[in-house]
Amino acid sequence: MLKRILLALFICTAALPSHAEDGSRLWLRYDTVSVCPQIENDVESPTMRIAVNELSTFWHGGKVSLQLMADDKYYSLGKDGYTITAKDNVITLRSLSETGLLYAVYHLLRLQASGKDCSALDICEKPMNDIRILNHWDNPDGTIERGYAGRSLWKWDELPATLSPRYAEYARANASIGINGTVLNNVNASPDVLSYDNLKKIKALADLFRPYGIKVYLSVNFATPMKLGGLTTADPLDKKVADWWKMKVHEVYSLIPDFGGFLVKANSEGQPGPCDYNRTHAEGANMLASAMKPYGGIVMWRAFVYSPTDDDRAKQAYLEFKPLDGKFLDNVIVQVKNGPIDFQPREPYSPLFGAMPHTRLMVEFQVTQEYLGHSNHLAYLAPMWKEFYQYFPPSAMRAAAGVANIGDDTNWCGNDLAQSNWYAFGRLAWNPALTSQEIAEEWLAQTFTTDRRFLRPMTEVMLQSREAVVDYMMPLGLHHIFAWGHHYGPEPWCEIEGARPDWLPTYYHRADIEGLGFDRTTEGSDAVSQYPDSLAAVLNNIDICPEEFILWFHHVPWKYEMKSGRTMWDELCMHYQHGVDAVRSFRDTWTAMSPYVDAERHAAVLHRFEIQASDAVWWKDACLEYFRTFSHMKYPKGVEKPHFSLKKLKKVNLPIDNYTCPSAEMLPGFKK
C-alpha cells in the first residue's frame, strides 16, 4: 500500500500576496485558506501534486480524499470522468486517472467559488467530447491572426531555455474547464514549425502542459517536405513524400511521446494541398494519418475550403467533402466550421454535419471575435454555440475546437468580459447540455462576485448580448457585410478592384431595387438542398423560413410582410434600432454595478461598453443609409435618424492591425 500523503506535507500558506484586480486571474480568483484542510492521497506524481496543492491552497471545507479507481464503473466514465461524493463530513473524489482527479478538484473548487452548498454532493461527470482543443492562430513573429489581446503568449525566441510563468497559468486555466489540447500555431502554418530547433521549443511546452492533462498539437503546411526536406513535390502519393513525413513524425514523437497530432489547412485561401497534384483531400489526409497511426496521433483536416466562383460559396465545402465520406482513415477527423461561410454573427449550421456518417467530424467554433466587434464588443457566445447544437446534436461528434481569443495582455483576452467565451467554450466542450445561463452565472460568480444584486442583472446582459450584436450588425440573416480586411466595421458598399466576388459584401447581401438577401432556394443557388429534406422544405419556403435566416436563404422584397405585420424594410430598421438600444442598456446596467466590482475592472469594461454603444450606432447608420439607396423607403417610427450622411460614412478609414482595435470615437459626434 502506498504511503498516505496528507495535506500537511504540501505548501499551505495562511496568506498570499494580494493580487491587483487586473483580470489576470481570470475565473480562478479563489481565496486562500487560513487553516489547511486534511487531504488524503495515495499517489505521488506531477499531476497529483497540482491537484493536492490546489486543494491545500484554496479548499475551505473539510477533509477530502482523492482515490484512483479501476472498476467497471470508472472504466465506463473513461480516463477524464470522475465522481464527487460527500458523506460523513468527507468529500471523496474518484477517477480512473490522475487527470480525472484533477478535473474533479477544479469542479469542487468551482462549486465553492460559486457559493454552492458542498455538504451533500453526489456528482458523476463524463465529458461528451474526447478532444476539447484550442486552436491558436499565433505566428512565429509573435503576431496573432485575428488576435485582439496583444501578442502571442509563446515567446519563441526565449524557448526552450526560458519558460514564462504564464504558460503554467494558461495550462491551469484550461484544465479548470476541461480543455485537454492546444494547437500552438496558425493554420496558415510556416513549414519551419517542424524544424528540429522548433520541435525542441515545443517539447518544452509539452512537458509543462502534460501534468495538466493537455496535449500539444501543431498546424502544418502541406508543402513542408519541399521547404524542409528539399523535395521537388508534396504529392501525397509520392513515396518519397510519404517517407519524409514518416521520418518527421518519428522525430516529433521521439521528443514528445504524447504529441496529439496535426491540424491541416489545405487548398484553402492559397495554402498548398493535395489538390495541387490532382489528389483528393482524403488522399492527403490519409498519407499524414498513416505516418501518425503507429504513435496514436490524429490528423484534423479542415473543411474550410472555397474557390473563386460566381456560384454560392456556402455550398463549396459540402460539394468538395461529401463525396469523400468513408474514404478517410479512422485517425482523421474532418474539422468543420459551425456554419457554411465563416464564423458570421449568425449562420445556419454547416450542411456537412449529418452528411458524412462514415467520417469522423469535429466542430470548429471561433472564440476570438473576428466578426463580432473584436475585443471591444460584449458578445457572449454560448447562445450561438447552443444554437448550433440545437440543429446538430453533440452526441454525433466526439471532438470540438475553438479558435482562441488569448494573447499576452494582462487580462488575457483584451476585454475582461471576453474571458467568458474562453470559459464557455471549455464548459460546453465538456458538457454541451449545460445552458447558457448556467455557464454565465458560473463565470460571473467566480470572476466578479456571488452577490445576487450583481449576478441577476449581469447574467441577463450576457444572455442578451450576442443577439444584440446580430441586430445592430446583420439581422434577419444578413452576413459578411464587414469592412475589407479587418472585419471590424460596416462596409456593405465595399468594392475592391480585382478582388474575388466572394470576398465582397455585395456578393452576399445582393441589395437591389427589388429587395435584399441571397436566394439559396431551389430557384436560386439551391443551397437549401444540401440540408435534410424536412429542413430544406422549411428553409425553401419564404413564408415559413425562420426569420433569423430569411435573408440568408431568400431575396426578400422590401415590402414583404413579416410575421410582425411590418414590411421587411421596417423590420430590418427595427432590428438595427433594437441592437443600439440594447447595448446602451448594457452600458447603463454595467454602470450601476460599480458597488459590486473593483474600480479597475469596472472602468476598463465601461470603456469597452462606451465604444460598443458608439459602434452600434455606426453600424445602424451605415447599413440602413446604404440599403435605403435601394429601398427608397422612409424610416419607421421609433428608429433614430442617422447621425451622419452615407457620403461621410463611406470615407471612414480605420487604421487597424492585429494589435489595436479601432474605436468609433474616431467618428466625430459619436463620442458620448
Residues forming the active site: 269, 342, 370
Helix (H, G, I), strand (E, B) or coil at 558: coil
Helix (H, G, I), strand (E, B) or coil at 535: helix
Locus of grid cell 410575421: 563
Distance CA 282, CA 301 (A): 9
Cell reading at 514: 427589388
Phi, psi of 125 (to 5 degrees): -125, 140
User: Could you please report the per-residue DSSP string of 99-163?
Assistant: HHHHHHHHHHHHHHHTT---SS-EEEE--S-SEEEEE--B-TTS-BTT--SSS-S--TTTTTT--
Distance CA 254, CA 236 (A): 23
Would you tell me the crossing angle of helices 436-447 and 382-391 to the nearest 10 degrees? 160
Cell reading at 451: 452577490
What one-letter code names the amino acid at 150?
G
Helix (H, G, I), strand (E, B) or coil at 37: coil
Who contacts 181 (Cβ-Cβ below 8 Å, separation ≥6)?
A: 131, 132, 133, 134, 214, 215, 216, 217, 260
Angle ∠(535,538,544) on CA atoms, nearest 5: 150
Phi, psi of 84 (to 5 degrees): -130, 120
Judged by phi (left if over 0) then psi (alpha if -120 to 50, else beta), residue 129 lies in beta
Angle ∠(93,434,81) on CA atoms, nearest 5: 30
* H or E segment to which residue 366 belongs: strand 361-366
Q: Quick one: DSSP state of residue 527?
A: G
Locus of grid cell 494573447: 407
Who contacts 197 (Cβ-Cβ below 8 Å, separation ≥6)?
A: none
Pick from 150, 258, 166, 149: nearest CA to 214: 258
Helix (H, G, I), strand (E, B) or coil at 514: coil
Who contacts 369 (Cβ-Cβ below 8 Å, separation ≥6)?
A: 148, 375, 377, 379, 381, 405, 418, 421
Distance CA 421, CA 240 (A): 44
Distance CA 567, CA 557 (A): 9
Q: Long-range pairs for 225-234 at CB < 8 Å and ≥24 separation? A: 226/191, 227/191, 227/192, 228/191, 228/192, 228/194, 228/195, 233/277, 234/272, 234/276, 234/277
Longest dimension (CA), the chain: 83
Per-residue exposure over 344-368, b if at least 16 CB sit within 10 Å of its own CB, e if not:
bbbbbbbbbbbbbeebbbbbbbbbb
Helix (H, G, I), strand (E, B) or coil at 300: strand
Handedness of CA 382, 386, 387, 388 (dihedral sign): positive
